[in-house]
Chains A and B, each alone.
Chain A
């Protein structure tokens, strides 16, 4: 009888101990003052490698200028969202963090409207208007834009030359793209005109619907009549037709691998590949996404902003740093890997004269006023999963479901 009792005590002890320990770990370590009385701020970034070094350099500069604040950089790298999620869950979120998925995290973030108002209208209007949409949820702003990329068409100039085709120009249509893809496709050489992901990211894909005057939901978040509208079905049908005609292929990744190997004439994505393609010695060009008839094309914006944790103890200091991080000097310092978000920097650096970068800015101005469904609907992560599956059914060669039928299955 003695032993089980002891075991019971042991278990009780361990359980109490664990609860105590887990309670300890979730107690606030935020906003701890450093030994020398400085305000200590934690700042989480998702960047990796050289970019982190560059960021650390900028932070050192900020710390040197502000004797009362010490910002500590935490580079989370690839698993950024998981780590931020865990941090927020444990009430141990960094004071300032890189952010893109505002709807998902908004309950843990500090609304910034009052801080921005304090800085004046001029401060706010120096940012590209389209970007505020991507850093707010509803009426509240939760982040400051740091960088962005719109999506554009990358094309292989060598393949265009070989096919005797002229390079595409801004204002072209999807019909033009299909005609070019047809001429580029060469079965013997295993070259295809156009490529897009076989499992398209629903967040990205919505821009094609926008271009055709449709979207997944209306402003009340209703799917039926929007996702399965005539225009929406038409858009999916067009992509499916390109596959069936053999002038396009679906890719397992984003299409960049196929582009690099010279087997694909065109694909659409953000600014992430510019330096990689240049390094790989690919003779490429970029152009705006084609339009549906007279309707101007639009692009989804992949944005990076920074947000403040609701639990941060030193919010004024945190905003001071955020202001620095999104300011002109920092924008300029990040030119090598990020598209600046400030109109004044774009002007002073003459980015509108850069034949490649200007395309991204044109696309940005064209895309003002669109709000992605992820910012409108209640449960985007679930809807995104459903859409993903349906898009796959439409594009996977083993199914190739009729878009109307497939989209109806989610919308109704």
Chain B
């Protein structure tokens, strides 16, 4: 049986199996806790699935209801996209500015670094509750501070015009992770580049525009994508801070899905909602990736290009 033909084949098979064995725990976890629910929710989206009682197969009716008969679907979608449009650029800007600040060689900068990063560690629920107290228009700290400056603060959580801005501010509080990613990238830029630039007479602003920004574009791309996803999936804050109000002005898509599932007990419909958001996120991410070839700059690519040119 042990012919020469068999032996090497067996050997490669074993060699191939071992690495799989090592990641098996992860694969099992992935199948049970991620892929399983995913597939299951896709199936559910084709059913009328109440919590108690029998599930009924209804084909694509959930999707039909969503697009043709539920105005809340469009409202929530628009509110969420609007939020993302304000939140993503603002968050990137704040993270970048903070990252630049903490790269400065100032005494005690380590303390500031910790302070800026700390909010990213605190639980979203706790943060939401604390923001609720701070934003209270009558007795909140925020309006008290504004009143000391002689400004009458707005009704943050009562006025529909301000509520979405309130959510933006409260979300931007968790900017620490993004800041840290920028920070490590900026720290990695070789000092010689700046030195050479300053010898050539470039001021700090010029250096920032011509060296720092182009070098960190891959990180910007990463942060744009992750923050777009985070913005479109925002739930904790609206669930705990506003509950979708005032006057449904912060009824985000995440809350819409959550309420359909756990308040109205329409699990099938909520699954359909969730899959639609998945498609939107997928498309947006692809779009951003496509656009990245125009503005993201990879050092490795440049090196390859140079080599190519030499060959020519």
Q: Mark B245-277, 1 if CB is under 8 A from A, else 0.
A: 111100000000001001111010000000000
Contacts A18-B36, A107-B53, A199-B246 hold; do A381 and B264 have CB atoms under 8 A apart?
yes
Asked if A22 contacts B40 (CB within 8 A), the reply is yes
Asked if B139 contacts A398 (CB within 8 A), the reply is no
The yes or no answer to B214 lying at the interface (CB within 8 A) is no
Binds A, one of B107-115, B156-164, B181-189, B227-235: B156-164
Q: In the complex, what's the smallest C-beta–C-beta distance from B259 to chain A, in angstroms?
A: 8
- Chain B's closest residue to A15 (CB) is B39
Asked if B160 contacts A396 (CB within 8 A), the reply is yes
Query: With A and B bound together, what is the CA distance between A261 and B137 in angstroms?
Result: 14
Asked if B158 contacts A17 (CB within 8 A), the reply is no
- Chain A's closest residue to B258 (CB) is A82
The yes or no answer to B152 lying at the interface (CB within 8 A) is no
Binds B, one of A221-229, A249-257, A269-277, A350-358: A249-257
Across-interface contacts of B50 in A (CB, < 8 A): 107
Asked if B139 contacts A258 (CB within 8 A), the reply is yes
Across-interface contacts of B51 in A (CB, < 8 A): 85, 88-89, 105, 108
Query: With A and B bound together, what is the CA distance between A104 and B264 in angstroms?
Result: 9
The yes or no answer to A8 lying at the interface (CB within 8 A) is no
Across-interface contacts of B267 in A (CB, < 8 A): 89
Query: With A and B bound together, what is the CA distance between A393 and B245 in angstroms?
Result: 11
Asked if A21 contacts B155 (CB within 8 A), the reply is no
Q: In the complex, what's the smallest C-beta–C-beta distance from A239 to chain B, in angstroms?
A: 16
Across-interface contacts of A258 in B (CB, < 8 A): 138-139
Across-interface contacts of B155 in A (CB, < 8 A): 397
Q: In the complex, what's the smallest C-beta–C-beta distance from A110 to chain B, in angstroms?
A: 12
The yes or no answer to B52 lying at the interface (CB within 8 A) is yes
The residue in A15, A22, A250, A398 that gathers the most chain B C-beta atoms within 10 A of its C-beta is A398
Asked if A397 contacts B158 (CB within 8 A), the reply is yes
Asked if A104 contacts B245 (CB within 8 A), the reply is no
Asked if B247 contacts A396 (CB within 8 A), the reply is yes
Q: In the complex, what's the smallest C-beta–C-beta distance from A334 to chain B, in angstroms?
A: 27
Asked if A252 contacts B31 (CB within 8 A), the reply is no
Q: Is the interface of B mostly helix, strand, loop or mixed?
A: loop
Query: With A and B bound together, what is the CA distance between A300 and B243 in angstroms?
Result: 23
Q: In the complex, what's the smallest C-beta–C-beta distance from A243 to chain B, in angstroms?
A: 12
Asked if B139 contacts A393 (CB within 8 A), the reply is no
Asked if A396 contacts B158 (CB within 8 A), the reply is yes
The yes or no answer to B118 lying at the interface (CB within 8 A) is no
Asked if A392 contacts B136 (CB within 8 A), the reply is no
Q: Mark B133-157, 1 if CB is under 8 A from A, else 0.
A: 0001111000000000000000101
Asked if B247 contacts A252 (CB within 8 A), the reply is no
Across-interface contacts of B247 in A (CB, < 8 A): 389, 392-393, 396, 398-399
Query: With A and B bound together, what is the CA distance between A398 and B132 in angstroms?
Result: 20
- Chain A's closest residue to B158 (CB) is A198
Contacts A198-B158, A199-B246 hold; do A249 and B35 have CB atoms under 8 A apart?
no
The yes or no answer to B32 lying at the interface (CB within 8 A) is yes
Excluding A85-B51, A392-B245, 19 further A-B contacts by CB distance (< 8 Å) are A14-B31, A18-B36, A18-B40, A85-B262, A85-B265, A88-B51, A104-B265, A108-B51, A198-B246, A199-B243, A252-B136, A261-B139, A381-B265, A392-B247, A396-B247, A397-B158, A397-B159, A398-B159, A398-B246
A–B pairs, 21, beta carbons within 8 Å: A14-B31, A14-B35, A18-B40, A21-B31, A21-B32, A21-B36, A81-B262, A85-B51, A89-B51, A199-B245, A250-B158, A252-B132, A389-B247, A389-B248, A392-B245, A392-B246, A396-B158, A396-B160, A397-B159, A398-B247, A399-B247
The 9 residue pairs across chains A and B that have the minimum distance between CB atoms: A108-B52, A18-B36, A107-B52, A89-B51, A381-B264, A107-B53, A82-B262, A88-B51, A85-B51
